[in-house]
Amino acid sequence: MWCRCKRAEAGSTAAALTLGAILAATATPVAVQTGVAIAPFRMFKVELDGDLAEWEDVTAITLDSSSYLLTAATRYEGNADLSGTVHFIWDTTHLYVAGRFADDSVARGAAWTSDRVNLVFDLHNNNHPLSYGGQPPDAARWQADDHWVYAHVFGDGEPPYPVMRMSYDYHGPITGARLVSTRRADGWAFELQVPWSELPEAQPFVGAVLGMQVFVSDGDGLPLLTEVMWSERWGYSLDAGLSWELWKMGKLVLTGEALTGGARRDRNGSDRVR
């Protein structure tokens, strides 16, 4: 009943692999569910500098050609056009997100046709197929715990670029949120932090389960976007754009501290801050 279809499996590959060490004695195979991302508790000081080296050990979800393509297939040219990974960690004050994407044409600006990272939250994880009468709701009908957090990777002018939130009663920049993005040879990378206090209804604790969907918008300098979604396919049309099918969510689970116990060392050899 709760299984998700095969196409979502790529998104949890990294999570499943990390279980190998502690599951060595397990008699039956166990893996995290597909469509489930984890955010470990922050085990190092997050420097928002666009360098993702410190995120390497953090489980990631994948968005690529095996994910859900929302827009026309004719405009998507495969993983070199758009594919990447997104990591999450958390502490009691912030949610941190980082990602690295291959993109053969980076589109700047804050227009709706530029490259964008999108996170959609159902913080209480209580949306279901009959929520909103089974019809994609306009933003004015969203519940108080539903939020769309998005950021144009390379916005207008000089950085920092704003991180935005759309909720039922608000659409604008998130106070205290930060985005740092960098160009890479094959695309771009980003790090962002969002204060929990600016996400109404957020209650972060170990074991919290948040409904979450992730999609990435690729401008390619064209009037029309390519958009790839993580764990489900939402409706999309040229005329109306994205259908906000807020019940088609994956999960983000806030987990505890690292299994390794002691302080980790970063690549410069200094102790990471817990």
**65 CB-contact burial (10 Å; exposed 0-12 / middle 13-18 / buried 19+):** middle
Name, in order, each residue with C-beta under 8 angstroms of 79's C-beta and a sequence gap of 6 or more. Answer: 64, 65, 102
Question: Is residue 53 classed as helix, strand or coil in its secondary structure?
Answer: helix
Stretch that binds another protein, among 71-79, 152-160, 218-226, 259-267 (CB under 8 A): 259-267
**27 touching another protein, by CB under 8 A:** yes
Distance of closest approach, residue 83 Cβ to another protein, in angstroms: 24
Q: How far is the CB of 88 from another protein (least distance, A)?
A: 11
The stretch among 120-128, 172-180, 212-220, 231-239 that binds another protein (CB under 8 A) is 120-128
Give the separation between CA 91 and CA 146, rounded to whole angstroms.
Answer: 20
* Interacting residue with another protein among 8, 43, 151, 153 (CB under 8 A): 43
Q: How many CA atoms lie within 13 A of 51 on its CB side?
A: 8
Minimum CB separation from another protein for residue 3, in Å? 8
Q: Which residues pair with 209 in a beta bridge?
A: 253
CB of 256 to another protein, least distance (A): 5
Does the protein bind another protein through residue 25 (CB under 8 A)? yes
Query: CB-based contacts of 165: which residues, under 8 Å, 6+ apart?
Result: 147, 148, 149, 171, 172, 173, 174, 198, 199
Stretch that binds another protein, among 112-120, 124-132, 166-174, 177-185 (CB under 8 A): 124-132
The two tokens of residue 168 are 């039922």
From the list 38, 44, 51, the residue with the least C-alpha distance to 181 is 51
The reply on whether position 92 binds another protein by CB under 8 A is no
Decide: is 80 part of the binding site for another protein (CB under 8 A). Answer: no
Integer angstrom CA distances of residue 2 from 33, 67, 154, 207: 9, 19, 38, 19
Q: How many CB atoms lie within 10 A of CB 168?
A: 17
Check residue 212 for interaction with another protein (CB under 8 A): no
Q: Which of residues 38 and 180 has its CB atom nearest to another protein in the complex?
A: 38
Q: What is the CA radius of gyration of the chain?
A: 18
Nearer to another protein, 157 or 261 (CB): 261
- Closer to another protein by CB, 133 or 157: give it: 133
Q: Is 56 left (phi over 0), alpha (psi -120 to 50) or beta?
A: alpha
Please, which residue, 207 or 223, has the CB nearer to another protein? 207
Least CB distance to another protein at residue 272 (A): 13
Which region among 40-48, 68-76, 142-150, 160-168 touches another protein (by CB under 8 A)?
40-48
If one asks whether residue 31 binds another protein (CB under 8 A), the answer comes out as: yes
Tokens at 196, concatenated: 């929990």
Rounded to 5 degrees, φ, ψ at 74 are: -65, -20
Residue 165 beta carbon to another protein: minimum distance, rounded to whole angstroms: 25
Which residue in the set 15, 63, 119, 214 belongs to the binding site for another protein (CB under 8 A)?
A: 15
Note the residues at the interface with another protein (CB under 8 A).
Answer: 1-2, 15, 18-19, 22-28, 30-33, 36, 38, 40-41, 43, 59, 125-126, 128-130, 133-134, 205-209, 251, 253, 255-261
